[in-house]
Amino acid sequence: MKPEKILKRYGRSGDNLLAILHDIQDASPEHYLSDADLRSAADYLRLPYSFVHGVASFYTMYSLKPRGRNLIRVCQSPPCHLLGSSTISRELIKVLGVGFGETTADRLFTLEMTSCLGVCGVAPAMMVNDRVYGNLTAERIAGIIDDLRRAQ
């Protein structure tokens, strides 16, 4: 959905800024907020661009640079950590050939750390876009990435 359509779903109140930025980023195939997106939100809400940029920069849930088509977020909170998230992270780094905060050259994957995903019962867990993968083992990682590549 285009940012203009998303904006029209909201009233012109600054209280809606976080939700608007969230929806625009969700609709972006590259999972980020462009400069034009920030300007559109600022204009629509009649807020200074510098304020909107400051808000988007402050929260780690927003990205101001393009990310891969598949956003992989690996939980690093204690329950997942205790059950082996560091092994999962090492395997992802090996299979993808990129570190945390980086995007693969084919722009298919961005690897990020996150705090609890709310699915501790299936720790260790990661999320790829909106899908949760739980009870992870290092042996499953290459297969999951292959399936995601084939689905593109």
Residues in contact with ligand FES by the rule CB under 6 A? 75, 77, 79-80, 116-117, 119-120, 123, 125
In terms of CB distance, is 47 or 116 closer to ligand FES?
Answer: 116
Nearest-approach distance from CB 80 to ligand FES, in angstroms? 3
In terms of CB distance, is 50 or 129 closer to ligand FES?
Answer: 129
| 122 touches 68 (CB < 8 A) | no
Nearest-approach distance from CB 1 to ligand FES, in angstroms? 29
- As a whole number of angstroms, the distance between CA 107 and CA 78 comes to 30
Nearest-approach distance from CB 72 to ligand FES, in angstroms? 14
In terms of CB distance, is 20 or 80 closer to ligand FES?
Answer: 80
| 7 touches 42 (CB < 8 A) | no
Q: What 3-state DSSP class applies to 72? A: strand
- As a whole number of angstroms, the distance between CA 103 and CA 120 comes to 26
